Structure 1
Amino acid sequence: MSAFLVAVVLSLVSAVAYAAAAVAQERLASRSAGTGLLRLLARGAWWASVGLNAGGALLHVVALRYGPLTVVQPLGALTLVAAVPLGARVAGRRVGAAEWRGTAFTLLGLTAILVAASGSAPEDVLSVPEALAVAGATAALAGVLARPGARPGLRHATASGAASGVASALTQTVTVAATDRSGPLLSVQVVGVALLVAAFAAAGLLLSQTAYRGGLGAPLAVVTLANPVAAAVIGLALLGERLRGGAAGALLALAGAGLAGWGVVLLSRAAPDPAPTAADDEEHPVAAVLALEPATASPEPVLLPRPTTGPEHLTPL
């Protein structure tokens, strides 16, 4: 099996793990809106989503060792494709026709991107000054998008996608540098960039948790698009990665990006909010009571006219 194929397979499995984590995070966010970080850390569902994200990240790291950033990151868009049927199953509904169309457009666009971006395994890595510059610019952007008082939603999702994309680019630097036998395993570059990876990965996770308070579809679509865009910019600008086919390859990649973007838009528009479940009613007893109120409440009393047969209304003889 070629290195390119290994990277693709690992990226697909990673996307499924990320999709399961996103569905778990969205359900947790909808049930615990306004919950503080400490209370969130006490929930088992939160740690289950963290475990799924960690598994997806580990597979993603290995994929980056075998494939270029411009290939591995676009495959992350399959997270949304996998999250649609998974979220529908959890919500107890079927996937609609519009959602299948969005899936088809996304897959077609990703195929075009893969054809143009299927290059050799990565060799170049970010230097320490480059990694610090990328980290500083990304932190500033995330701070503006997720500033205090900002309404949770697409801005937090954009910040999450950018942070996760930068974490992927920095992860590639760590894996390539750490496996380079010409230098020490725990160099200043490896340790320093690894700390940045941990910081941006945690920031991306917390920002996405906040973004999912408004639902799963649109925020996940924005995260899915912002992630590969941020990573691709770093790969093309700083890591020396190139698209195949010259101008024709660039046009094919742009067309694929357009198709994939339109597919993501269709998916985000078509995915309905999950219906309330019995578990939701248990966590929201007031909502459950209100839902039963019309069927159990007694009717309003009817005001009857005063009787006219009393002594004061008798007709004198």
Structure 2
Amino acid sequence: MGPSEGFRSLAILLAVAAAVALAYGAHFQNAAVVADSTKKVKTKGGLSLKQLLALISRPQWLSGTAFMGAGIVLQLAALTLAPLIVVQPIGAVALVITSLLNARSTKTRISRPTLIAVTFCTVGIAAFVAMASGVAHETVLNDDRLREVLGILLTILVIFGVLFFTIGKRMQALTYVAGAGVLYGFVATLAKVVIQRIYQQQFELLTILCLVALIGAVSLGGWFVQNAYSSGPPDLVIAGLTVIDPLVAVSIGIVVLGEAKDAGFLTILGWLISAVVAMIGVYLLSKVHPELSTKALTRKHLV
């Protein structure tokens, strides 16, 4: 079944540490992408494959990747100790840290509307975690449930892959963020699935397929994130990831994995309300962020 529920507090602490690492990783990666893109006049939202490959040689981008890697390790450790629907939403902590780091590095004042948007995101996710922690339980994962997850992910990978390689250059930051958030939600789910299968001593072909699907989702999701950095501020990217990612992962955890089968009507209603509040925050941030306004004016002037 998994570890004892007594480890849940440790899992939450590990998830918070993972969120801090994610925030610093996003900050450094965004700085590297912006520095690279300013060398060339860009009027579109997407990066070319050549530009993405060039980022690998930038120390700042590599530093961000190292932080991201540390965050993944900490998140996986948290997932081994607590249900998915408890751990995954805690990543919203990264939004607050990223907003402060970005404001300091760009010397951009955090405006009141931006602060309100960040508050909506954070409060919505925090309320969700508080309610989930009281009712979430580990479940035994069978092969049929796992095939459902893989089938949904395969469909999404095909759709996003086609969209990216056809209209990718016309996509905006929020679109990239949404795509990455959905994919990373599946990454978290598949990571939890593999951990559960190991606990259940079922590491066989189906589990290996999960690992392959996980790598595919990470790769395409990572590409989306780098393109989002080129057309939007890092706190918008993190806002989308820390809201859309857990909402997708939690939905799968509830519907497919059955981690919230003990939740009552009021709890489910509370989850829906908190999710709506968090999504409103992401939408507001995409509209009111001062750095987005600056970038839009700059591009209009260049054109």
Q: TM-score range by the shorter chain?
A: 0.7 to 0.9
Measure the CA separation in 1 of the matches of 2:199 and 2:216.
22
Q: Does 1:89 align with 2:104?
A: yes
Match of residue 177 from structure 2:
157
Q: CA RMSD in A?
A: 2.7
Q: How does 1:169-208 map to 2 (within 5 A)?
A: 169-180=189-200, 183=201, 186-208=203-225
Contact 1:125 1:172 in 2 (8 A): no
Task: Name the aligned partner's letter for residue 17 of structure 1.
Answer: A
Could you tell me how far apart the structure 2 residues matched to 1:108 and 1:275 are?
25
TM-score, normalized by length of structure 2?
Answer: 0.79
Instruction: Specify the code of the residue in structure 2 equivalent to 1:49.
Output: G
Asked if 1 retains the 8 angstrom alpha-carbon contact of 2:141 and 2:257, the reply is yes
What is the CA distance between 1:260 and its match in structure 2?
Answer: 2.2
Deviation at 1:156, TM superposition (A): 2.1
Higher mean C-alpha deviation, range 170-179 or range 30-39: 30-39
Work out whether residues 102 and 267 of structure 1, in 8 Å CA contact, stay in contact via their aligned partners in 2. Answer: yes
* CA displacement at 1:194 relative to structure 2: 2.0
Using the TM superposition, give the Cα deviation of residue 93 of structure 1 relative to its aligned residue in structure 2, in angstroms.
Answer: 4.4
Query: Which moves more between the two structures, 162-171 or 76-85?
Result: 76-85
Unaligned runs of 5+ in 1: 277-317
- Does the 8 Å contact 1:15/1:56 carry over to 2? yes
Does the 8 Å CA contact 1:102/1:263 hold for their aligned counterparts? Answer: yes
- 1:282-301, CA deviations, whole angstroms, 9 ceiling, x for partnerless residues? xxxxxxxxxxxxxxxxxxxx
Alignment partner, residue 129 of structure 2: 114
**1:238 and 2:242 equivalent?**
no
Residue equivalent to 2:32? 28
Supply the AA of the counterpart residue of 2:20. Answer: V
CA contact (8 A) 2:180 2:241 kept: yes
- SS of the equivalent of 2:290 reads coil
Give, in whole Å, the separation in 2 of the partners of 1:275 and 1:155: 17
The CA distance in 1 between the partners of 2:149 and 2:115, in whole Å, is 39
The match for 2:268 is 250
Closer/same/farther in 2, CA of residues 117 and 87 from structure 1, 3 Å limit: same
Amino acid at match of 1:20: Y
Corresponding position of 1:312: none
Change (3 A) 1:132 1:126: farther
Q: 1:132 to 1:236 in 2, by over 3 A?
A: same
Q: Which amino acid aligns with 1:273?
A: E
Q: Matched residue of 2:166: which SS? A: coil
The percent of aligned pairs where both chains have the same amino acid is: 26
Q: Return closer, same or farther for 1:191/1:245 CA change in 2, 3 Å cut-off.
A: closer
Tell me which moved more, 248-257 or 267-276.
267-276
Q: Hey, which of these two has a bigger chunk of helix by percent? A: 2
Structure 1 SS opposite 2:258? coil
Answer yes or no: is the 8 Å Cα contact 1:30–1:215 preserved in 2. no
* 243 and 85 in structure 1: CA distance in 2 versus 1, 3 angstrom threshold: farther
Contact 2:79 2:192 in 1 (8 A): yes
- 1:62 aligns to what? 77
Q: State the 1:18 CA deviation.
A: 1.1
CA shift digits 1:93-146 (9 cap, x unpaired) = 443333333333333222321232123442333635334313312212322442
The structure having more radius of gyration, on CA atoms, is: 1
TM-score, normalization by structure 1: 0.76
Matches within 5 A, 1:116-131: 116-118=131-133, 119-125=135-141, 127=143, 129-131=147-149
Inter-partner Cα distance in structure 1 for 2:58 and 2:171: 21
Q: What is the aligned length?
A: 273
Q: What one-letter code is carried by the residue in structure 1 that aligns with 2:28?
A: A
- For residues 244 and 262 of structure 1, what CA distance do their matches in structure 2 show? 28
Report if the CA contact (8 A) 2:108-2:290 is conserved.
no
